[in-house]
Amino acid sequence: MNKDQVAGRVEEAKGKLKEVAGKVTGNERLEADGVTDQASGKVQSTYGDAKSKVKDTAQKAVDKL
């Protein structure tokens, strides 16, 4: 796992906690912030996944040489 994958997944988890806390307390802003944080975390972790995939593919190509 690279740092983008880890940071993205952490951000997703924090966002989920915020969303749930917002729902429990009736705080719509906190809930919306949680949804936003989850989305940005998903983007970052997806970027990290893609970066890892490219690295793995490049390594396999080098190994074939």
Give the pLDDT band (50/70/90) at residue 58: very high
Residue 2: left (phi > 0), alpha (psi -120 to 50), or beta?
beta
d(CA 10, CA 56): 23
In tens, the pLDDT along 42-51 reads: 999 999 999 9
Q: How far is CA 55 from CA 8, 45, 60, in A?
A: 18, 15, 9
**At 60, which amino acid appears?**
K
